[in-house]
């Protein structure tokens, strides 16, 4: 059974989001709890798939790659979730979400250039059964990119 995160869990996650290399003992000291409490809570949250501790690439450092947003329309709205599941199996896609509004699905990836994007969309996305159309946009100047945007807000 997955437990709901309490205030201590959220504080642990907030500290790890800033720097995942922060030691359990430092977090414990900051929060006024034992190191064992922090260790056990992190272990539980990982086991329950509430958090995953991983390295995140800094897109500002990629000089030969551009972030591409691929908006996908399904032939029928009820196909969106199935198409998104297929897309989620494509390793080059870093984000796949069923959306409300402009398009049925948004997929995000990194590409080398517009030709690379066109080939990727044509060869990997447009051929998926149920995909009616795609529209792609490229990020050109990121004013803010907070890799922690997926942190827990409630």
Predicted confidence band at 55 (pLDDT cuts at 50, 70, 90)? confident
Mean pLDDT value across residues 4-31: 93
Q: What's the domain count of the chain?
A: 2
* Higher local confidence (pLDDT), 39 or 58: 39
Mean pLDDT value across residues 81-91: 96
- pLDDT at res. 149: 53
* Whole-number Å distance between alpha carbons of 36 and 67: 40
Mean pLDDT value across residues 51-74: 80
Kindly state whether residues 14 and 67 are assigned to the same domain: no
Q: Is residue 134 in some structural domain?
A: yes
- pLDDT at res. 3: 83
CA distances from 105 to 88, 94, 117, 119 (A): 11, 13, 17, 19
Please give the sequence-ordered ranges of beta strands (E in DSSP) within the chain, or none if there are none.
Answer: 66-74, 93-98, 105-111, 131-138
Kindly state whether residues 95 and 43 are assigned to the same domain: no
Q: Is residue 121 in some structural domain?
A: yes
pLDDT digits (tens, 9 = 90+) for 121-142: 999 999 999 999 999 999 887 7
Q: Where in the sequence is the domain holding 35, given as residue range(s)? A: 7-47
Kindly state whether residues 30 and 72 are assigned to the same domain: no
Kindly state whether residues 41 and 91 are assigned to the same domain: no
Please give the sequence-ordered ranges of beta strands (E in DSSP) within 24-65, or none if there are none.
Answer: none
Q: Is residue 151 in some structural domain?
A: no
Mean pLDDT value across residues 43-54: 91
* Whole-number Å distance between alpha carbons of 1 and 98: 26
Kindly state whether residues 71 and 126 are assigned to the same domain: yes
Nearest to 67 by CA among 143, 133, 149, 137: 137
Q: Is residue 144 in some structural domain?
A: no
> For position 34, which CATH number holds?
1.10.10.10
- pLDDT at res. 62: 61
Residue 8 corresponds to which tokens in the numbers above? Answer: 């201590």
Q: Is residue 52 in some structural domain?
A: no
Specify burial of residue 151 (Cβ count, 10 A radius: 0-12, 13-18, 19+): middle
Kindly state whether residues 104 and 130 are assigned to the same domain: yes
Kindly state whether residues 67 and 28 are assigned to the same domain: no
- pLDDT at res. 154: 38
Kindly state whether residues 16 and 80 are assigned to the same domain: no
Angle, alpha carbons 72-76-80 (nearest 5°):
50
> For position 112, which CATH number holds?
3.30.70.920
* Whole-number Å distance between alpha carbons of 138 and 136: 7
């Amino acid at each position: 059974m997955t437990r709901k995160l309490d205030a201590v869990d959220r504080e642990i996650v907030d500290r790890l989001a800033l720097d995942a290399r922060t030691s359990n003992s430092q977090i414990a000291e900051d929060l006024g709890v034992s190191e064992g409490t922090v260790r056990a809570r992190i272990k539980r949250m990982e086991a329950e798939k509430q958090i995953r501790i991983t390295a995140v690439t800094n897109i500002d450092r990629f000089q030969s790659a551009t972030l591409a947003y691929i908006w996908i329309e399904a032939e029928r709205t009820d196909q969106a979730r199935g198409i998104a599941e297929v897309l989620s199996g494509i390793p080059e896609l870093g984000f796949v979400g069923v959306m409300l509004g402009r398009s049925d699905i948004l997929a995000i990836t990194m590409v080398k250039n517009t030709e690379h994007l066109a080939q990727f969309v044509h060869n990997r996305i447009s051929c998926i059964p149920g995909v009616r159309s795609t529209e792609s946009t490229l990020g050109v100047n990121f004013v803010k990119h907070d890799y922690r945007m997926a942190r827990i807000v409630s």
